[in-house]
Amino acid sequence: MMWLCLPGSLYAQALNTPSDFQSLIRVSEMNYQPTAESWQGTPTQPLPVSTGVFVVKYKDDKQLVKYTSVESNFVKKRKVKAARYITEKDYEKAKQTLQQALKKMPQHADLMKAMAEIHKKDGASVTALTWYKKAAETNPIDYQAYLKTAQILTENGDYELAFKAVLYAKVLNRYSTDVQSEVKRIALLNGLNYRDWSFIPKFTLIKKGNNVQIAYTGEPWRAYATSEAFWEHEPGYANTKSDTEEYDWDMIRYKESLLNGVVAYKLLKYADKKEEYPEIDAFSIAVSEGFIDEYIQYEIIALKRPHFIHTLEKPDIQRIVQYMLVTHFEKILEKYAMK
């Protein structure tokens, strides 16, 4: 393992490597049986991300609250009235009506987005952009505000800022097809190709008595799966990590399994391994660039719990955006970039 450059934080956590696990297997009461198979893994089904919500901090907890649940009757009536004016294309009255609602609820980001949409319909894209930005600043978990900001910036030819905004939207809502298509489009405008992959481990574990079958596809997933097998089935294994610096055992488990995958991945010599193991390759980059936690937060935790991202502070979300930049995008040769 010593040839693999890892930050001191990983060494300090005393994570086992593939060679360590082979030694543990020899003395284990369990019988671990690795079997190479063509295992494609099971993609996580897309999960909905709520819109029209904001974060409320309560003691040490954070909760998502719908704007509609805290609106007064006055605000509700103004929204209905504004919608009618929009249908009638009376945009001035619609703006005035929403302004009245905003005076009652000045932190209502959905009202700000509605103001932006009215100005956009009225041909005032610059003012619309201001309102979308204000909505995003007021409610940092509103992916729609960032998406709309990115679209207007793209129309204005400001591709770099548009790219940052749409990436933020992507982190907030990974399952939105609208966001997905805009990420690809705006990336191309910036001369970047989007590496479209999700974390899909290619292995399965089957336990029968003291026998644990490890079915895997490729050596990196064998190494990853062996670590997972010990965490899942080896009696008392998790307790051996009780004296590490990390208090979150799930994070220790993710790091150890991913580390094992990377060690095996680094030993592969063929050129197209990056395409075959994008998940492992990305973690290797995340290790070298200092984005280990961000990888785990976005690729693993948020994959199954998308609202997890909304509980993070804005600087933490921005760190995930930076992680995305170094792992999910590649420069395109200039002659192939969209103009």
Quick one: 245 and 127 in the same domain? no
Quick one: 64 and 184 in the same domain? yes
Average pLDDT, the chain: 90
123 Cβ contact list (under 8 Å, min separation 6): none
pLDDT, tens digit, for every residue of 83-139? 999 999 999 999 999 999 999 999 999 999 999 999 999 999 999 999 999 999 999
Residue 331 lies in a domain: no
Residue 73 and residue 95: Cα distance in Å, rounded? 19
74 Cβ contact list (under 8 Å, min separation 6): 101, 104
Quick one: 298 and 213 in the same domain? yes
pLDDT number for residue 243: 59
Quick one: 70 and 182 in the same domain? yes
Residue 87 lies in a domain: yes
Residue 227's nearest CA partner among 37, 30, 22 is 22
Residue 336 lies in a domain: no
Domain CATH number, residue 119: 1.25.40.10
Report the DSSP beta bridge partners of residue 31. Answer: 211
pLDDT number for residue 96: 97
Do 153 and 165 form a contact (C-beta atoms < 8 A)? yes
pLDDT number for residue 176: 93
Quick one: 95 and 148 in the same domain? yes
**Which residue numbers in the chain have pLDDT < 70?**
1-13, 242-247, 332-339
Quick one: 220 and 237 in the same domain? yes
Angle, helices 249-267 vs 18-27, to 10°: value is 110
How many structural domains are present in the chain?
Answer: 2
Quick one: 40 and 166 in the same domain? no
Residue 202 and residue 90: Cα distance in Å, rounded? 56
DSSP string computed for 23-85: HHHHH-SSEEEEEE------PPPP----SSEEEEEETTEEEEEEGGGT--HHHHHHHHHHHHH
The whole domain housing 58 covers 53-191
pTM for the model stands at 0.89
